Each structure stands twice: as structure tokens, then as C-alpha cells.
Structure 1
Amino acid sequence: MLKKERHDFIMRQINLHNRVLTSDLVQLLNVSEDTIRRDLQEMSDDNLLYKVHGGALSKSYHSSFDDSTVYAKEAKIAIAKKTISLIKDGMVVLTGGGTTIIELVKQLPESLQATFFTISPLVAVELAKYARIEVILIGGLFSKNSQITYGGHVINQLSEINADLCLMGTSALHPQDGLTDTDWEINQLKKTMLSCSRKSAVLCISEKLNISLRLKVASLENIDYLVTELEAKDAQLANYTAKSLQIL
């Protein structure tokens, strides 16, 4: 595989999952670890990504203030507008982090009166712009990679919440394997968030459908809504409709 082809592949993985691990890229591309390290360094020098220990991160994942590099921005805005129909005045809403959730917050109606709990400081900053929304940031250890708080203290706080609705982005969704991710700590957070919410919605661009990663978060049966940019009757969603998910 040519270097440009490797770089294109790496950027696609970054765009879809916000982060990549060197070890995973070595296996996926069947090249040496030194080759991947050089590729990531070159791409970092070209300002395409953030190179970190053990892998790389998306640039768009790290700021809610400069959204010019958000991947699939129009699709995420479409998802945001659909998801707003689930949020009602007086609700207690729990959110994760990520660019899709941030796009959702930017689309909220100014008149909305609700309480939002979030594990994402970037999401909290966006929510704070709304006069009638109470914002509660769950504090704990801060993940530089995922830009959210995590750890036992965060899980303990989450377990005391009884949310009406959990809004969650994802790295991958599969009709058989369900919601999956690659980070153990993040998985524990997501499991806790789902368990302390009456209803849950996964916000997912269609490119992340039919993908399965290493660690399972939840089966589709544990999720109430799937929101994509596709029409609900799109053929790509047929296997998800059969799982009793409500498709928006």
C-alpha cells in the first residue's frame, strides 16, 4: 500500500472514531509500528491530526469553538434537528461528549427549559449559552483523549441520577454486536449512563453503522432510539428496525 493510501485510510478512521491506536493501525494496514509512527508524525506535521502517545486524535474533537473541521458536519446537523423532537420542557437530560452531541446542543431552541447533566466540558460550555437550561457538569478525572470526565467518582455521581433521556454519540453500531467502543473507561461510563436513564438515544452518522469494535457497551435491545441522517425507511437501516429500535 502506498503512503498516500495509508494516510487516507488513517484519516477515515480518525474521522469516524475520533481517535486511532497505533496497535490497531499496525494490524489493519499490515505494516510495522515504525511505519505507522512515521505516518502519524507526518500527518501531525501537516496539521491533519493530533499525535499522542499510542495513537492519534481528531482535531475537530478538541474544540467546540472552531467547527470548520468537523467531519460530516451536515449529516450531524441533520441528526441534531431530528433528535430535538425527543427533548421536552422540564426534562432531565444526560449527555456524553463528541462532535455530534455538540452539534445537537447548538441546534436547541432558545426557549427550552430543561436540566442537562454532562460529562463533557465542551458540551457544558455550549449549553451554558441557553438562559433557561440548567447545566450540571459531572466532575472527575479528565481524559485528554476523549475530552470528557471519567473514573470511579464520575460513575458514582452518574449512578445517583434518574434522567429522562440519555443522548449518546458512538464510534460504532452493529445490528448483532450493538454499541461498541475501544476504550475500557469510556465503556464503563456509557454503561452507567444507559442504566440511569429511562430512555436512551444513540446519535450515529450512517458511516458508523455496521461496524463493530473490540469492547461491547450495550445490545440494541437496551437502546430506545437510533438517530441517523438517513430516512427512517432507508434500506441501510432495515437490520436495525428489526431490533425494536425506534428509528428517527
Structure 2
Amino acid sequence: MFQLDRHKQIYEYILKNKNATVNELAEIFDVATMTIRRDLDKMERDRLLTRVFGGAVIGSNMVKEEGYEDKEKSNIDEKVKIAKEAAKLVSDNSIIILDAGTTCMEIAKELVERKNLKIITTDILIAAYLMKYENIEVYCTGGRIQSNIGSCIDSHAMEFLNNINADICFVGASAINEDLDLFTFLSDKSKVKKAMMNSSQHRVLVTDNSKFNKRSFAKICSLKDFEIVITNEGLDEDIKYEIANKGVNIKII
């Protein structure tokens, strides 16, 4: 097993069980206890967990991925407001990339009256929603579909994205830590999001304020890699200051 795969499984195991000992993990993954200690030390440096005597724990600011139906019910009013603000950045005759997720689904709903759009998405549900609109040319990146989420997450999706040139992309994040680094749950998903950003002239982060001061498994990028952040009211003033200090335009709705 590759180290990154083992780290992911260790993270998921401790997230589920709240804690684990070195000996327990060594037995589960059939490796030496020294290997597990090195794994845990590296994961602590990456702020994925906290080392304790004989093992590790995961704090309450670590997040786990919800299924699509749960995400649909979470902070829906905030997501609609964010989507309406995001849609203002889209002109007719544009090429847009929409990340997977319920916030980007709300953006898709706001764009159906625009003329002559090309929309590329990694979300099969967004693609299915938009396909009935003749004024929108829809592309789904394809690739392996994440179960219970509907997101395309493998190298096929990355290859598709690496070969296009979009005007703007709208990207979401599962967690944003205290250093304003963005995270998601899967390393493959983080690579796909990076490919979206690399293929777009303009980059917009769309996220509700519940994602801040949280951590997850796979780093995507720094928040400073975006031109604009759109989020909802209630964000801590210190976080607003740090975002502005990075030269990023923040829109609070």
C-alpha cells in the first residue's frame, strides 16, 4: 500500500473511531509500529490529527463527507444567496466550469436564462439538470463517479479539464483551515479541483462560512489562489482581514 493511501485510511479510521493506538494501527495495516509512528507524525505536521501518548486522536474541527441528500439540506438559504452573487459574474457567451456540489448546483440554476453558455462540470447531477436548456452547451468531464456524491474524480476528469480554456471557474471546498488553505476529502478530488483552476482565466471560491476553521484530508491550494471569495454573513472579522490581506476580493452576502 502506498503511503498516501495508508494515510487516507488511517485518517478515516481515526475519524470514525475518534482515536487509535499505534499498535492497533500497525496490526490493521500490517506494517511495523515505527512505520505507523512516522505516518502519525507526518499527519500531525499536516494538521490532520493530534498525537497523544501511544497513538493519535482527531479534534472536532476535522470534517467528514456527507452524502448528497444531507448536503442538499445543509445551509440551503446561504447557498442560494451565494449562488445569486456568483451568477452576477457570468456574462452571455461565456465558458464556465462548475465544481461538483450543492452550492454549484444553485449557481447552475441561476444561469439558465443566460445566452450561449458553455458549462463544464464534474457533477453528473448538475449536467443532468442543465441538459434540457438549449441555450446552454453542457459538458461533463466523465471519469469515475464518487458514490453517493455524484462527482467525477479520476484521471479522465483531469485530462478533460487540462485540455480546455474557460473564462471562469466556481470552486467549493470541504474545509478551510486557520492558515486559509483549502481541503477536500479525497486526494483525487483535490487534483481535479486544481485542474479546474489551472484551466480558467478567473477563479472564484464559493463557500458558506461553516467551512472555515475546519480541516480535512487532502489539500487543494491556498485561498490566495482565488481572485474572489463569496461567502455569507457571520464570518469572523479576523478571517475577513486575513483574506483581504492576501489580496483576495471577499464578497459577504
TM-score by length of 1: 0.72
Aligned to 1:206: 209
1:235 CA displacement = 5.8
- In structure 1, the partner of 2:118 is 115
Evaluate the alpha carbon distance shift between residue 219 and residue 236 of structure 1 in structure 2; reply closer, same or farther with a 3 A threshold: closer
Matched, 1:60 2:60: no
Contact between 1:177 and 1:212, CA under 8 Å: does it hold in 2?
no
Query: 2:14 aligns to what?
Result: 23
Distance 1:129 1:22 in 2: 42
Out of 88, 91, 96, the residue aligned to residue 93 of structure 1 is 96
Q: Say yes or no: does 1:238 pair with 2:241.
A: yes
Residues 142-193 of structure 1 show CA distances to partners (whole Å, capped at 9, x for unaligned) of: 2114311122222111100111111111101235241112211101111111
What one-letter code is carried by the residue in structure 1 that aligns with 2:170?
L
Instruction: Count residues in correspondence.
Output: 200
Is the Cα contact below 8 Å between 2:141 and 2:156 reproduced in 1?
Answer: no
TM-fit CA distance, 1:222: 1.2
User: Residue 214 of structure 2 aligns to a residue in which SS?
Assistant: coil
Counterpart secondary structure, 2:18:
helix
Does the aligned pair in 1 maintain the 2:91–2:114 contact within 8 Å?
no
Q: The residue matched to 1:141 in structure 2 has which SS? A: coil
Paired residue type of 1:26:
N
Instruction: Check conservation: 1:61, 1:99, Cα contact below 8 A.
Output: no
Measure the CA separation in 1 of the matches of 2:114 and 2:65: 39
- Specify whether residues 109 and 148 from structure 1 end up closer, same or farther in structure 2 by C-alpha distance, changes over 3 A only: closer
Q: Which has the larger radius of gyration?
A: 2
Which of 176, 179, 191 pairs up with 1:176? 179
Q: Taking structure 2 as the reference length, what is the TM-score of the superposition? A: 0.70
Unaligned stretches of 5+ residues in structure 2: 1-10, 25-63
Kept after mapping to 2: 8 A contact 1:118/1:138: yes
| Residue 86 of structure 2 corresponds to residue 83 of structure 1 | yes
Percent identical among aligned pairs is: 24
Counterpart residue number, 2:193: 190
